[in-house]
Chain A
């Protein structure tokens, strides 16, 4: 079974902290994605990566950065966490191609206080 593993299920951080959300996949997928999900707003794309060391901005990249040093790992970085970044964060991965399915992690519920 394909596995997409997010490092934490729940996380509480203070305003201003630098926060790292880690995502690891075990199926050699080229593409990886970070979304956030908020009530009433659905899933919104933050960043994605086609391959190692490559990254593209999604719809809401402000306040975030990403790192993809190895194919299996895609990290989302909150440079200076703010309360409006309290959200559910979801990581996904997929092979290249328009008919391939994406696999999602369980999500990290981040609370910034």
Chain B
């Protein structure tokens, strides 16, 4: 399985944008890029996914590099509620399970 690399931790001020990077240099053409986050004392929750084009939804934006070897999850205005561990995951087609790395622990400072 292709691996992802994320910084262990990041810090942001409240109401400022946050850019969470993910490197996936061995990504294959059929791998989708998924992002999940895990709030304290909760199970992970889906954030966003993409294949080649940038994606936006109500929670975040996903910017994917042209060569697809890296991507960035963008939280446009961080709130205290966004403090969580963010996981970048590559998914092949079919029923392959999600494989979680260590993720990035985001702290948001008021």
Asked if A43 lies at the interface with its beta carbon under 8 angstroms from chain B, I say yes
Interface residues on A, range: 20 to 34
Q: Are A105 and B95 in contact (CB under 8 A)?
A: no
In terms of DSSP, what is the predominant structure of the interface of chain A?
strand
Q: Which of B36, B41, B43, B91 contacts A98 (CB 8 A)?
A: B91
Q: Are B101 and A42 in contact (CB under 8 A)?
A: yes
Residues of A56-99 at the interface with B, using a CB-CB cut-off of 8 Å, are: 58, 90, 92, 96, 98-99
* Total number of B residues with any Cβ neighbor in A under 8 Å: 24
10 A-B residue pairs with Cβ-Cβ distance under 8 Å, sorted by A, are A42-B101, A43-B44, A45-B99, A92-B44, A98-B92, A98-B96, A101-B46, A102-B44, A104-B44, A106-B43
Given A42-B102, A98-B32, A107-B41, 12 further pairs, Cβ under 8 A? A30-B95, A42-B101, A42-B103, A43-B44, A44-B100, A90-B44, A92-B43, A98-B91, A99-B91, A102-B36, A102-B98, A105-B43
